[in-house]
Structure 1
């Protein structure tokens, strides 16, 4: 196990952000941390990085206590969601500058080649697209040749081609450099093709963890219902009184419940809600994620 968190808590004043996080990441895997905005993902990463001190609980990196300072920090590379560089400096100059700050002497040529920026190494970063800056961010996160790399919402702001290219680079460093990767997102489709296992973080707690198949089975099946509703907000109140977890898109509700399908439909009709159509859907990682996060709203 490369990373272990046991009951980690962190508060800002009276606001508790991490409420007893338990997390295990295995060496060599790509681990996806899913959670809505405000779930505590960035605070969790900054705590693991040592940028924030936990109020309680323990963090171990390769069975070593987290408080071993520089030795632990050198084992972890970090790509923050709000990455920034010196725009008037070239890509190479930026990497050399940050390597000097970290007191490291990495193979800059190798890193630039790894992220397909060899041909752009002398261009000023201010001329880079968002995707190119993200790729440069990967290189920066690898300057210390870390055993563990953490990428916080790295696909935000990328177009579909950029997202696909980013995923390929993550797979490449995981495969070629044997780097364990933790990558976060609030959108399951952004990272689901990439990761070996997932954790779902909401309200400062890991609600569930496992492979895509394991998490998909947790939700069972869901019922998608399209309603004929003159007042959809009123219809939503009826749905809410019936089940704990659901999602809504206009007049279409996806309901996650162990209740019998016929009893759900009867309850809606008895309360004056007309059902236009319905479909029983097998669960997915997305449906499990929605069930575990929507229920806390």
Structure 2
């Protein structure tokens, strides 16, 4: 009897307190919109984020103390579009001895967008190469922002997209500075309802599955116009045995038909988590990193904080 009561209490706690708070963060933990995280071979951590022509922060530990180091692309992008001096949503990957930093050139609400790339051998100084060949204009069913590179075991795949037809992927050349010749943009996830508020695709491998993480809901300007409860950013996931399609959620619903299992959403002082990625840390194992609003501080975009949670995949689905 006592054991059943304890089990019931634990179950209730799980329902009420379903999400762990972000790990402790010290130093400059703000300025973290759409973060990208990587660790250099010498153990130094680097965080890249939207704003200031892609902000660079470094730290000796994944939890800090984080220090601002300047702009990754201080002269702006070579891509001649509105937004070339206000770059968004970076993604960073190491291939061989070279780091690749992908970024978005666009303006808020526009579909006139392109994905660019810069390279580095040290993560500190970058050479902008400009366009990758992934771009969009009015009339396309996708928006070419929020890039994330992924190696599926045989080829490089770039996921991207925001609103319109939502999330897509395309094959990349090797080395991954350009889209593969003739590569099509293939839809991998779509929310059919409302404004199709889905973006920030990020694919990560665990076991036999490729997991497609994404942000769903309203992302920004919470200090000016907060959405109805539950319509703010949250992080969802689908999975597939292929990195280029067939993603379904935990209930078996196709990701291209509105599927998505929630991994992290507003709770406690955490509001609107999103802009996420997954990093396999040598000490902590898989971690989910993201930005969020700390309601104890403020709701403005510039106040968004850097969040990290460990991920448990033991059930076959990511749990923070």
Verify same fold: TM over 0.5: no
Structure with greater strand share of residues: 2
Structure number with greater CO (CA < 8 Å, separation at least 6) is 1
Structure with greater helix share of residues: 1
